[in-house]
Structure 1
Amino acid sequence: MTKEWSLTKRSALAVCALMLGCAGALAQDARPIRLVAFAGASNWPIWIGQQKGFFAAEKLQASLEITPNSRQMAADVFSGKFDVALTAIDNVVAYVEGQGEAQLPGPADFVAFMGVDDGMLSLMAVPGTRSVNDLKGKELSVDALTTGFAFVLRDALMKSGIGADEVKFVAVGGGAQRLAALREQKQTATLLNSPLDLIAESAGSVRLAEMHALIGPYQGISGMARRAWLTENRDTAKAFVRAFHASVAWLVDPASKDEAIAILRERVQGTSPELAQRIHARLTHPERGIKRDAAIDIEGLRTVLRLRSTYAAAGRTLSDPSRYLDSALLGEALARR
């Protein structure tokens, strides 16, 4: 390195992690962290963190797997197969309240500690659909019948004058599965988060509505783990938050745009240059994109609780956001920056 280079310790480690001679040494000291997520916006910062060395800079070795549905995700996190899930915060609420669809062998001690997005949800339909009203009498796909995004869809339909008894909900699985079903026209419409909505739109699907305009603030994807794991691995969890936060900061930096798009197109085969540009614009939008501060939107969480209180079969009113949060970890993680 020349004297003109003035790298911070963390930056130096990140560069070192990308160099063959140092990667092995860092890997020996790296703590493994096993991540699980759905297809969606949260994965781009993970790929960036892996490729640009932000996890290595925090002495983490991060692996990522995609889950097929929320039931499998909950079972795998509870069993310890994965340490951290990037999932709708409603899944945390559901399992803490004993309303999750997977039958776990014990009480779920799930807790959210970091926010990723507001759901970035759009109602997408097969070609030829003109309006939400056209969905009456049609089949609509959801992940599972009692998950938060299904409640978002029910609320959006209700506000558009369509009752739950006027459509048929079909449990298909996560966003990737619902996108495939929509493209095959197995159901008429579904909710998709970004960038899956843009992929569907590029293939001819119709955008009927964006959910933030219909339901208001909403906390969507969040980082979650078991409370027991966070207690025993707090330093690892804080290192993960710092690495993810650094990856998002790099992603939204205009100087990183071309390289970020290259990483996206490498990981999501078949993404055209034009579609990649649209995805980048959507996910880096300062208000509607990935959260830059990694904070959980408390008002958005209140909406999650309202929807679950209204539509879950248990009929129980949920009103305490703190019950589902580790509100201290994010501040602890980023305080040293």
Structure 2
Amino acid sequence: MNLFQRAISVTTSLLALSLSAAQAAALDKPLEVIVFPGGFNWPIFVAEEKGFFAAEGIAVNVTPTPDSKYQMVNFIDGKFDIAMTAMDNVVAYAEGQGAAPTQATPDIVAFMGSDNGFLRLVSIPEVKTVADLKGKRVGVDALTTGYAFVLREMLELGGLNPAEFEYVQAGGVMKRFEALMQKSFAATLLISPFEAAAQRDGFNILANGSEALGAYQGVVGAVRRDWAKENGDKLVSYIRGYQAALDWLYNPANKDEAIQILLKSVQGMKEPVAQASYQILLDDKLGFYKRPTIDEKGVATVLALRSKYAEPKKELADPTHYYDTQYLERALAAPKP
């Protein structure tokens, strides 16, 4: 081997080592996940606490978001890898109907589902029925995304038209809950188990989203398509860790420990509310999906509401355009070797 060939060989070896180091660093880098704060992140709390994510070779950093605008903008612009968010938010930003501008062009997709939304219309003690909201203010996250259209549909089903109530933009579910407790508005849409805490203080549950709307895809895991292509193995590992946590949560033998994890993970959570959360969020029929699949009929309901209420006006008809189950199928196909 002459001097030139040796130089090429050394350069190639150094390049290979550099690539290996870069790949290893990528694997060691934690997944950045942004969530709305609350008990509906229970599977994530458990996966971290019980080492289910670690068993899949990944670390996860969880960041709570103050509202959907902050979540979606920073997710789409690359600050976070995964957003646990409303399916409605995925559709809104994918269709250019988002409540805030992004630097990057949204190319996002849901990869797994969590639940049917756990949506409850909750009011101050003085308001006993939907009809009592006439002439009053109701709180929403953002006016054009999140669950604003769900709330509007529920109020219309209850006999009110938009001219008979006023929307107040109040931020994410934690902010809305706190504002409702202070009676800053008369009602808002809460996600379980926040309604349990409100009900203990004399507030009223006026309507249940799943009963009013039927199938509805609530929280999903969402990713940028290009990120998913480059990080497919990590995404599969995340799903597997999440699934292991669901299996653990649904085992009745783990109830006491599960409640302790929830109490530790949700700031201000009290024992009675944690007990109620267990009954609500782990209900065999209405709780977390036991497999984090996407409910196509539920996505179709999301599209129907956006087609009815969103601006600019669009007719959205193909649920499969907004989700990709290839990573979920890989994760659930067989146990990790």
Q: Is the TM-score greater than 0.5?
A: yes
The corresponding residue for 2:68 is: 70
- Give 1:82 deviation, angstroms: 0.8
The corresponding residue for 1:6 is: none
CA contact (8 A) 1:31 1:236 kept: no
- Alignment-mate amino acid for residue 175 of structure 1: V
Query: Given the alignment of the two structures, is residue 317 of structure 1 paired with residue 315 of structure 2, yes or no?
Result: yes
- Give 1:106 deviation, angstroms: 3.2
**Distance in 2 of aligned mates of 1:270 and 1:109:** 36
The corresponding residue for 2:177 is: 179
- Give 1:75 deviation, angstroms: 1.1
- Give 1:214 deviation, angstroms: 1.0
Describe how 1:126-205 pairs up with structure 2 within 5 A: 126-205=124-203
Identity rate of aligned residues, in percent? 43
TM-score by length of 2: 0.90
The corresponding residue for 1:18 is: none
| Stretch of structure 1 that moved more, 262-271 or 65-74 | 262-271
**Distance in 1 of aligned mates of 2:198 and 2:37:** 13
In the superposition, relative to structure 1, how do residues 192 and 151 fare at CA in structure 2: closer, same or farther (>3 Å)? same
SS in 2 for 1:60: coil
**Distance in 2 of aligned mates of 1:90 and 1:28:** 31
**Distance in 2 of aligned mates of 1:218 and 1:326:** 18
- Give 1:30 deviation, angstroms: 4.2
TM-score by length of 1: 0.90
**Distance in 2 of aligned mates of 1:167 and 1:269:** 32
CA contact (8 A) 2:66 2:171 kept: yes
Find the partner of 2:52 among 29, 51, 54: 54
SS in 2 for 1:192: strand
The corresponding residue for 1:17 is: none
The corresponding residue for 1:7 is: none
Find the partner of 1:300 among 298, 301, 304: 298
**Distance in 2 of aligned mates of 1:39 and 1:246:** 21
In the superposition, relative to structure 1, how do residues 266 and 162 fare at CA in structure 2: closer, same or farther (>3 Å)? same
Query: Given the alignment of the two structures, is residue 237 of structure 1 paired with residue 227 of structure 2, yes or no?
Result: no
The corresponding residue for 1:215 is: 213
Find the partner of 2:250 among 249, 252, 266: 252
Per-residue CA distance 1:212-234 (angstroms, 9 max, x = gap): 11111100000001001101100
The corresponding residue for 1:103 is: 101
Task: Structure 1 unaligned segments of length 5 or more: list them.
Answer: 1-26
**Distance in 1 of aligned mates of 2:166 and 2:241:** 42
- Give 1:315 deviation, angstroms: 1.7
Per-residue CA distance 1:160-186 (angstroms, 9 max, x = gap): 110011100011111000000000000
Per-residue CA distance 1:127-179 (angstroms, 9 max, x = gap): 12110100010000000000141000111111111001110001111100000
CA contact (8 A) 1:46 1:244 kept: yes
The corresponding residue for 1:44 is: 42
CA contact (8 A) 2:240 2:331 kept: yes
**Distance in 1 of aligned mates of 2:28 and 2:284:** 33
**Distance in 2 of aligned mates of 1:175 and 1:45:** 18
**Distance in 2 of aligned mates of 1:276 and 1:103:** 37
The corresponding residue for 2:13 is: none
**Distance in 1 of aligned mates of 2:88 and 2:99:** 12
SS in 1 for 2:290: coil
Per-residue CA distance 1:93-114 (angstroms, 9 max, x = gap): 0011000011012320110010
- Give 1:304 deviation, angstroms: 0.2
- Give 1:322 deviation, angstroms: 1.2
- Give 1:270 deviation, angstroms: 3.9
Per-residue CA distance 1:284-335 (angstroms, 9 max, x = gap): 1111111111011100000000000000122211001111111221111111
**Distance in 2 of aligned mates of 1:237 and 1:183:** 38
The corresponding residue for 1:227 is: 225
Task: Structure 2 unaligned segments of length 5 or more: list them.
Answer: 1-24
SS in 1 for 2:59: strand
- Alignment-mate amino acid for residue 107 of structure 2: D
Query: Given the alignment of the two structures, is residue 117 of structure 1 paired with residue 115 of structure 2, yes or no?
Result: yes
CA contact (8 A) 2:75 2:81 kept: yes
**Distance in 1 of aligned mates of 2:306 and 2:296:** 15
**Distance in 2 of aligned mates of 1:299 and 1:199:** 30
